[in-house]
Amino acid sequence: MEKNPSLAPAKPVPRKLRKGKKLKNRNNLAGYIFISPWLVGFLMFTIIPMLWSLYLSFTKYDILSSPRWVGLMNYETMFKYDYLFPQSLKVTFQYAFTAVPLRLLFALILALLLSQKRRGVGLYRTLFYVPSVFGGSIAVAVMWRQLFGVNGALNSILMALGVIEEGIGWLTGPNTAIWTLVALAVWQFGSPMLIFLAGLKQISFSLYEAAMIDGASSWQKLIYITLPMLSPIIFFNFLVQMINGFMMFTQALIITNGGPFNRTLMYVLYIYRKGFTDYSMGYASALAWIMLVIIGILTAIIFKTSSYWVFYETGEGK
Amino acid sequence: MRLTTKTRKNIGSVVYHLFVIALALFVFYPVMWLIASSFKSHSEIFTEAHSLIPSELRWENYVTGWKGFGRTTFATFFKNSFIITFASTFGQVASSALVAYGFARVNFTGKRFLFACMIMTMLIPGQVLMIPQYLLFNALGWVNSWRPLIVPSFFGVPFFIFLIMQFIRGIPYELDESAKIDGCGVYRIFFYIILPNIVPALITSTIFAFYWKWEDFLGPLLYLQSAELYPVSLALRLFSDPAAITDWGAMFAMSVASLIPVFILFVLFQKYLVEGISTTGLKG
């Protein structure tokens, strides 16, 4: 383990190339040598841990004593007695299904605005991307917490404008807390915006020319050309962002810490607490597996329905 | 007629720029506010919460913040972050380049299946595996060391493998062929033909790897217990604990400091970053 396996082929041993049957074998060996870092890592850090956690999900395990087989008990507890399980699922779905569409919408609007050939768009693109550069950093989460705090900047602005008399506890209000997290996600629309911009560049100008000759309005051009041509990219973004949305953790921990009244208890935060606060490793593994299944189903749904709303040019497969 | 269209165009242009600039100011406000707050005095942070111009530039915030907490200063935290990030980034990029070449150019049995496996793992979020991975590293006795944060980096990252593969596919096969005729094997082709041609992809991967590792919070949170091992991300969390915090200006100052390396990298390598996002986004 100490020795870095990826460096193994660092000093290639040049062998004389012999033509013939041995070539295939040699290619096999070389191929596996090159992909060996990934292959070993895949087995050690993905497949074996996955199977191990599947086994653990049927046990009671607190690290100190060895795992004890309890059959389906963890899953039974989850679905029958644990009110935090449906709560965290609800919160996570609520978050993902608001934050992701809003973020993509914002990204799309900005991309459409900044794809125009005008002076300064390059600078604008950079500016709008900056919040995403800071991405998931703790500093940004801390900043967000202070912005929305009772004595924070948002209240200060609203009070200066005379909209409110007293500071609102955005983070402690049961109905507002999750929206501060959604707002943070929407604020960081930079990466999908860049992907949309790249996609917009790919759309052939001749399509717009043809539409112009037919007298299409800008709105029609958007609906009948831009959006269909961009749909594969929207699809890709939606899938990736959705999975990211479900995995939200750091911000929920720093900004609201799951509160108030578990209204921002994101699923991963709940897994973390079960595993590393309660040391219920078996139960936490069961929770993780449910999430894996949900992501699998969600991915399948997005892929299956994609043929209805994603347009692929003929002859140019996925 | 021509004049009116021209005036209309001009008005449209003014409206466009005003709108975009207003939006940019709105989006930028939190960042500017964070920087402004890092120079404010303790009382000003609360009395003039929204203002972007501090009444005086209090550099002391940075000096007191740098002292950190306990007996550990932010010099240690930054040093830790740099060591972890550099080691991990090197491992991720080097191993991903090797794997990418294997998948893109070498024909071996089982390639299609394994490639499908790799693409699938791109969709499996790491958070789902945090329990068993923690148990694995715990069993190895690696907890409370940097090893769980660094060693797995040397086993390739599907996202980067994919990104580098896209670049390798753009290199004409004729180059490989002519090298083969000259007697080069697959290893030499990799080092002398492919590697020099995928430098942009390697830079892009390096920047992303750096960002993600620098910001990584869950990993250090799970695996590190002693404060002298903490990277900046984890230190900042303790430093900004609302229950314990006394000096808010210092907290803002260290938040800003933690973003400086990220920002410098962004300014220097913006082009690669944008290209990386665009290509992976498109080819996905």
Per-residue DSSP letters for chain B? Answer: -HHHHHHHHHHHHHHHHHHHHHHHHHHHHHHHHHHHHTTS-HHHHHHTTT-SS-SS--THHHHHHHT-BTTB-HHHHHHHHHHHHHHHHHHHHHHHHHHHHHHHH---TTHHHHHHHHHHHHHS-GGGGHHHHHHHHHHTT-TTSSHHHHGGGGG--HHHHHHHHHHHHTS-HHHHHHHHHTT--HHHIIIIIIHHHTHHHHHHHHHHHHHHHHH--HHHHHH--SGGG--HHHHHHHHT-TTT---HHHHHHHHHHHHHHHHHHHHHHHHHHHHHHHHHHHH-
pLDDT of res. A278: 92
Task: Give every CB contact of residue A81 below 8 A, 6+ residues apart in sequence.
Answer: none
pLDDT number for residue A166: 82
User: Six-digit token pair at A161?
Assistant: 């404008």
Rounded to whole angstroms, how far apart are CA atoms B142 and B59?
Answer: 40
Closest CA–CA distance from residue B94 to any residue of chain A (Å): 7
pLDDT at res. A14: 47
Does residue B91 sit at the A interface (CB-CB below 8 Å)? Answer: yes
CB < 8 Å from A in window 213-252 of B: 214-215, 217-218, 222, 232-234, 236-237, 240, 242, 248, 251-252
The ipTM of this complex is 0.88
Which tokens in the block code for residue B224? 């590190």
Q: What is the mean pLDDT of residues B69-97?
A: 94
Please name the amino acid found at residue A128.
Answer: F
C-alpha span between B39 and B49 (Å, rounded): 12
B63 to chain A, minimum CA–CA distance in Å?
A: 18
In terms of DSSP H, where are the helices of chain A? 22-41, 48-56, 73-80, 84-114, 121-133, 138-147, 153-160, 177-187, 190-202, 205-213, 218-221, 227-246, 250-251, 267-276, 281-309
Whether residues A135 and B211 touch (CB distance < 8 A) is answered with yes
How much is the pLDDT for A51? 93
Quote the pLDDT of residue B6.
Answer: 78
> What is the per-residue pLDDT across A148-201, written as a single tens digit (0 to 9) for each?
988 888 888 888 888 888 888 888 888 899 999 999 999 989 888 988 888 888
Cβ-Cβ pairs closer than 8 A, A with B, add up to 284
* DSSP assigned state of A145: H
Q: Quote the minimal CA–CA distance from B79 to chain A in Å.
A: 17
For the CA atoms of B12, B18, B19, B21, the dihedral, rounded to the nearest 10 degrees, stands at 140
pTM: 0.88
Q: What CATH class does B70-283 carry?
A: mainly alpha
Residues on chain A touching B215 (C-beta within 8 angstroms): 135-138
Q: In this predicted structure, what is the pLDDT of residue A13?
A: 44
Cα separation, A37 vs A6, whole angstroms: 6
What letter represents residue B283's amino acid? K
Is the Cβ pair A153, B215 closer than 8 Å?
no
Separation CA A271–CA A273 (nearest Å): 5
Q: Answer yes or no: are the C-beta atoms of B160 and B96 closer than 8 Å.
A: yes
Residue B283 has pLDDT above 50, yes or no: no
Q: Quote the pLDDT of residue A316.
A: 40
- Inter-chain CB proximity B211 and A27 less than 8 Å: no
Chain segment B156-211, per-residue pLDDT in tens: 999 899 889 988 988 888 888 888 888 888 888 899 889 998 998 899 899 989 99
Distance from first CA to last CA of chain B, Å, rounded?
48
Residues of B in contact with A139 (CB under 8 A): 34, 236, 255-256, 258-259
Chain B closest CA to A308's CA: distance in Å?
19
Low-confidence stretches of chain A (pLDDT < 50) are 1-14, 16-18, 315-318
Chain A hits for B242, CB-CB cut-off 8 Å, are 145
* The pLDDT of residue B279: 66
Q: Give the mutation candidate from A43, A53, A137 for the B interface (greatest B CB count, under 10 A).
A: A137
Residue that the structure tokens 């479900």 belong to? A246
Quote the pLDDT of residue B3: 60
pLDDT of residue A20: 54
Residue of A nearest to B93 (CA): A6
Taking residues B22-47, what's their average pLDDT? 87
DSSP string, A186-249: HH--HHHHHHHHHHHHHS-HHHHHHHHHTT--HHHHIIIIIHHHHHHHHHHHHHHHHHHHHT--
Q: Do A131 and B27 touch (CB under 8 A)?
A: yes
| Bond prior to B54 in cis (omega within 30° of 0) | no
What's the mean per-residue pLDDT of chain B? 87
What pLDDT was estimated at residue A88? 95
Mean pLDDT of B236-263: 86
The per-residue pLDDT for A7 is 37
Among the ranges given (A91-95, B5-9, B77-81, B191-195), the one the predictor scored with the smallest mean pLDDT: B5-9
* A128·B262 Cβ contact <8 A: no
Q: For residue B144, is pLDDT > 70? A: yes
pLDDT number for residue A28: 87
A252 HSE (CA, 13 A, CB side): 28
Domain residue ranges of chain B, discontinuous segments joined by +? 2-63, 70-283
Q: Let me know the angle formed at the C-alpha of B215 by B212 and B216, rounded to the nearest 5 degrees.
A: 80
